Amino acid sequence: ETGVTQSPTHLIKTRGQQVTLRCSSQSGHNTVSWYQQALGQGPQFIFQYYREEENGRGNFPPRFSGLQFPNYSSELNVNALELDDSALYLCASSLSGLSSYNEQFFGPGTRLTVL
Amino acid sequence: QKEVEQNSGPLSVPEGAIASLNCTYSDRVSQSFFWYRQYSGKSPELIMSIYSNGDKEDGRFTAQLNKASQYVSLLIRDSQPSDSATYLCAVSHFGNEKLTFGTGTRLTIIP
């Protein structure tokens, strides 16, 4: 167990709806990164939050947004859901957003299905 | 060309043998390299990190890095059925914690 938690475990939504996914980072970690993993693919970087500020963003549209709270937990929001948003959403926590040497530890993920 | 490439497999290895997993990357500024194991339906689990050229050993696992050849590998000695999983190679760049993953190699250990 990494100490990173995510909720909910599974979620079913319909196209056009909005969804919020939650993540609690490992104790002592101030950085949370979000990834999307489609079936049979490696995780794709969505964005990262370091001390409540966005610290890098991948190639995802603006309808993917997030925030980080003072306790370093984080939310991922997706608006106007599309069928292709169906995936496993992974949250990873790390010690600091400033070094590529920091190891990232993943939570169990949220499986999102868009119908 | 994909930034991180792995053979998707499946790679089948007899129990007790050495499993060898390979990964190449295209960006020379890649600085840090990670191997994750992912069981079906689960999230990735960090196995090894490596930052310098050469070998790094941890139990039955050895990571090997060759920055000149832009190549990183993972060796699993004395393979066990519980090692059957998808192995993901990930890289990150200087000053940036974003991980770029390969598509993973599916490994099956045959009893």
Cβ contact (<8 Å) for B95 and A45?
Answer: no
Question: How, if at all, do strands A110-114 and A53-57 pair?
Answer: unpaired
| Mean pLDDT, rounded, of chain A | 94
How far apart CA A24 and CA B7 sit, in angstroms, is 33
What percent of chain B is predicted at pLDDT more than 90?
85
Give A-chain residues touching B101 at CB under 8 angstroms.
42-44
Q: How many CA atoms lie within 13 A of B37 on its CB side?
A: 13
Q: Retrieve residue B110's tokens.
A: 């045959």
Q: What's the rounded Cα separation, in Å, for the pair A107 and B89? A: 18
Say which residues have a Cβ less than 8 Å from residue A1's Cβ, sequence separation at least 6: none
B18-55 pLDDT tens trace: 999 999 999 888 889 999 999 999 999 999 999 999 99
Q: What are phi and psi of A103, to 5 degrees?
A: -80, 145
Mark yes or no for CB contact A100/B96 under 8 Å: yes
Element (H, E) at A13: strand A10-13
- Tens-place pLDDT, residues A8-43: 999 999 999 999 999 999 988 999 999 999 999 999
In this predicted structure, the answer to whether residue A44 has a pLDDT above a threshold of 90 is: yes
In this prediction, residue A85 carries a pLDDT of 98
Beta carbons within 8 Å of A51's beta carbon, 6+ residues apart = A30, A31, A68, A72, A97
Which chain A residues have a beta carbon less than 8 Å from that of B36? 106
Kindly state whether A94 is in contact with chain B, defined as any CB-CB distance less than 8 angstroms: yes
A40 to chain B, closest Cα gap in Å: 7
Asked if B92 has any chain A CB less than 8 Å from its own CB, the reply is yes
Please, what is the average pLDDT of chain B? 94
